Amino acid sequence: MTRKKIGLFGGTFNPIHFGHLNLALEIQEKKGLDEVWVIPAHLSPLRVDHPLIPAFHRLKMVELACAELKGFSVLDWEINRPPPSYTSYTLEEIKKKSPKHDFFLLLGEDALIHFDKWKNPEQILAMASPLIAQRVGQSLEESLSKLTLSDSARQKLRSGLVSTRILDISATEIRERIQKKLYFSHLVPAKVVDYIYDYQLYCNLNSEN
Ligand code: ATP
């Protein structure tokens, strides 16, 4: 079996948008990743700003968005397992099943703000090297200075920063635009836009639809 470089890209993807796709594609191309595995996570019912849309809708939208991207696959592992879905547990399982490959953790800069509060952050960095895309309003150095982590973990994060195009898009903004009946097709792939209309997703924030 040839040793592959595989990027793991987790998120709530509620919904997936061009900011996510740009992050994954640019990092894949710049770092020569053979594959990118996109892993939608459970949504926390405690996040009151997130409408609780059924997980299979988020998964389906990720599949539609990634279908034509070379080397991309979508993993339903976290969504089909009871929560909480900790990245460190998912990584352990992935490493057990595919011990020969090199894994990379794809993140946006904002994900670092609470990285030391994730379960087993140091172990995560030992299992997968971080590759971090830039994001509006975030400073890697500022986040790093506030993290309670070892110097070597901090250094891994620092050297993982990849120079990427910055797209100021968030799923929060998309959900708000949909609710206000504003145009949002400039932020989300066309097939995902159609899916959102077909199932009337995000029309009522905080309701299941
Ligand atoms: P929300 O607005 O609902 O909090 P989000 O748009 O930030 O969602 P997530 O699914 O939480 O999307 O993000 C998954 C990953 O993608 C995270 O690592 C996040 O930092 C990154 N990410 C999301 N949007 C962008 C973007 N526009 N540019 C770079 N990285 C992004």
Query: For 63-99, what is each residue's pLDDT tens digit?
Result: 999 999 999 999 999 998 888 888 999 999 999 999 9
b/e per residue 52-63 (b: at least 16 CB within 10 A): ebebebbbbbbb
Examine residue 135 and state whether it is found in any structural domain, yes or no. yes
Q: Model-level pTM?
A: 0.94
Examine residue 204 and state whether it is found in any structural domain, yes or no. no
Cα angle, residue 20 at apex, residues 15 and 24 outer, rounded to 5°: 145
Pocket test for ligand 1, best of 9, 13, 21, 23 (most atoms within 8 A of CB): 23
Asked whether 133 and 106 are in contact (CB, 8 A), the reply is: yes
Q: What is the pLDDT of residue 208?
A: 43
Examine residue 113 and state whether it is found in any structural domain, yes or no. yes
Cβ atoms within 10 Å of 69's Cβ, excluding its own: 14
Question: How far apart are the CA of 133 and the centre of ligand 1, in A?
Answer: 10
Q: What is the pLDDT of residue 124?
A: 97
Count of domains in the chain? 1
Query: For 150-183, what is each residue's pLDDT tens digit?
Result: 999 999 999 999 999 999 999 999 999 999 999 9
Task: For residue 151, give its domain range.
Answer: 5-168
In angstroms, rounded to a whole number, what is the distance separating the alpha carbons of residues 92 and 112?
20
Examine residue 195 and state whether it is found in any structural domain, yes or no. no
Examine residue 47 and state whether it is found in any structural domain, yes or no. yes
Examine residue 199 and state whether it is found in any structural domain, yes or no. no
- What separation in angstroms does the CA of 50 have from each of 3, 47, 103? 39, 6, 30
The residue type of 96 is K
Coil/strand/helix, residue 104: strand
Q: The domain spanning residue 157 has which CATH number?
A: 3.40.50.620
Examine residue 173 and state whether it is found in any structural domain, yes or no. no
**Measured from the CA of 49, which atom of ligand 1 is nearest?**
3
